[in-house]
Structure 1
Amino acid sequence: MKHLESALKQENQWWKYLLVLLIGFLGGQIIGAIPLVVAMGIGAARNGGNIVTPDNPMDLSAYGIDPNLGLVLMVFPFLVMLFISILLIKAFHKRSFREVINGGGVFRWRRFWKGFLVWGVFAVILLVASLLFDRENYELNFQLSKFIPLVIISLLLIPFQAGTEEFFFRGYLAQGVGSWTKKRWLAVLLPSVFFALLHCMNPEIKEFGFWTMIPSYILFGIVFGVISILDDGIELAIGVHSVNNILSSIFVTSKSSVLQTPAMFIQKEVDPSGEFWGLLAVSIVFILVVSYKSSWNYQILFSGIQQKKEEHPEED
């Protein structure tokens, strides 16, 4: 094991993590939001200076912004945040991008694509089942001229959004928690809670309530954390997170969704509780399938974190 252990030899003062997280997040939100503010200003000018406040703040079409352009503008702050954070982590911790990913080895693309494809298959099966058994709850919204650009933008940019979140929570923050507590299960649990709290501003929280949606976000975080610990790196989690968000962007949206895109279907009524149990079932099946192929040792989750000799994950 190398991913969490690699951080033990480096500087892990709590205030450095706090500064990196705050500066990275605020820098991404302030600098990265400049194009969005400009686009909103142009939209307001075209509307005679009137500022419209939509029920869902993620619905940028209310500001006269094309939904596909809106998706680009929403992802851009994540790119800025990732760039700033890589520089800060190198300066404060002397830790490289690859060390945060898997302890210092090459980026394992096969792990990424394994997570992307396996989770993608299960998610599509769940979506098709939902469409078949709850057909009246979905409205066809297919517009070829908007759908093709949406697919291209989603495939190219959403992995950066998902990858940034995994870099922060299952990479950087998990290494910090692991270096402080020396316990892997806490390196799964605590970043998952922070991951959930980061999504408190999502419109789904406003629509369905904090205690309804937070368990789903925590479950997602725990799944990503568990597979990162077992796989000794975050490439698999990046793949899963990426395909999950891409499929959500392309195929299904709703009035309360954080992804307001010209998706193929509009979901009229969302059942958060039902979706939670569907997510749990897919997560269990996914972990069982991937662990069978990867020969994971689940006891690692409850083992201590100790400094070991140099070793790096290899591409397989």
Structure 2
Amino acid sequence: MKHLTRAFDGQNQWWKYLVVIIVAVIVGQIVGAIPLIVVIGVSVAMNGGQVATPENAMDLSAYGIDPNLGLALMVIPFIVMLVLAIVLIKAFHQRTSKDVVNGGRSFRWNRFGLGVAVWGVIMLVLFFAQLLISPEDLEFRFDPAAFIPLVFVAVLLIPIQSGTEEFIFRGYLAQGVAGWTKRVWAAILIPSVLFALMHAANPEVKEHGFWMMMPSYFVFGVAFAITAVLDDGIELAIGIHAVNNTLGALLVTSKESAIQVPSLFFQQETDPVNDAVVLVVSSVIMLIILKVILKWDFSILAKKIEAPMVVDEA
């Protein structure tokens, strides 16, 4: 467990995590949102100050902003967050970005690609199954002039958003919890709860309710965390998270989606209970597939995290 034991270094004080999270996440979101606020202000002014209040706060088209530009602007806070997190973690914990990703090794692109491939195939199978079973729920809205730019924006920028969340929750915070508790289950569950709560302001939560949506975010967080623990690094989780958000943006949107873009299809109605059940089943299938491919030992999840042996150089 080189990834989790990286926090056993005497630099794991709780107040350091508090400072890093407050500055990187909160300040990063505020500073990173400035370009979006400026663009909204300019767009509103150009429209004579007359705008309709959107039902979904993420629907920037209500302000006269192109959805693809809006998506790019919404990723900027995550870029600022990531940069601040890397700088502050180095200053407060003497850990590099590599340390947070997998304990100090080079980034394993093969693991990232594997995550993209496995979860991408599962998503596509589920999508085509829905298209065959309930075609009336999906309205085809292909607009080449809008969709082609979306492909470039989504593929280039959404992985940064996903990677930032994984870096902070499955990387940095998981290491901190591991250092404090020395329990794998705690390093999985606690960051997953915080990950779910971070999404509490999403439009889906407003539409369907806090207690209806939190289990789905939590389940996904746990799935990401399990892959990070068993694979001793977060590259797989980044790949899974990135393809989930990217394909999700390209394939289907709905009135309550957090990402309002010109997707291929518009879903008329969503069923959060059905979506949660499908997510649990597909996450289990994903973990089984990865276990077979990577020969994981699930007994690791029940083990205590031991501090690494220190060899004296006499």
Scaled by the length of structure 2, the TM-score of the pair is 0.97
Question: Where has structure 1 moved over 4 Å in runs of 4 or more?
Answer: none
Percent of matched pairs sharing the same residue: 54
SS of alignment partner, residue 171 of structure 1: helix
Could you tell me which residue of structure 2 aligns to residue 37 of structure 1? 37
Equivalent in the alignment of 2:305: 305
For residues 1-316 of structure 1, the aligned pairs below 5 Å read 1-309=1-309
| Helix, strand or coil at the partner of 2:50 | coil
Which deviations, in whole Å up to 9, do the C-alpha atoms of 1:172-220 show, x marking residues without a partner?
0000000000001110000000000000000000000011100000000
Counterpart residue identity of residue 283, structure 1: S
Partner Cα separation in structure 2 for residue 263 and residue 228 of structure 1: 30
Tell me the amino acid that sits aligned with residue 239 of structure 1: G
CA contact (8 A) 1:10 1:95 kept: no
**Distance in 1, Cα, partners of 2:25 & 2:103:** 23
How far off its partner does 1:224 sit? 0.2
After superposition, the CA RMSD in angstroms is 0.9
Q: What CA deviation, in whole Å up to 9, does each residue of 1:37-73 have, x standing for no partner?
A: 1110111112212343211000000011000000001
Moved more, 4-13 or 64-73: 4-13
**Which amino acid in 2 is paired with 1:231?**
D
Match of 1:233, SS state, is coil
Shift of 1:10: 3.8
Distance in 2 between residues matched to 1:52 and 1:20, nearest whole Å: 37
State the secondary structure of the residue aligned to 1:266: strand
- Cα deviation for residue 25 of structure 1 reads 1.0
Distance 1:110 1:47 in 2: 48
CA contact (8 A) 1:10 1:94 kept: no
State the AA in 1 paired with 2:261: T
Deviation at 1:309, TM superposition (A): 4.5
Code of the aligned partner of 2:125: I
Between the aligned partners of 1:145 and 1:214, the Cα distance in structure 2 is: 36
* Superposition deviation, residue 281 in structure 1: 1.4
Amino acid aligned to 2:69: L
- Closer, same or farther: CA 284–49 of 1 in aligned 2, 3 Å: same
Give the SS at the match of 1:7: coil
5+ residue gaps, structure 2, are none
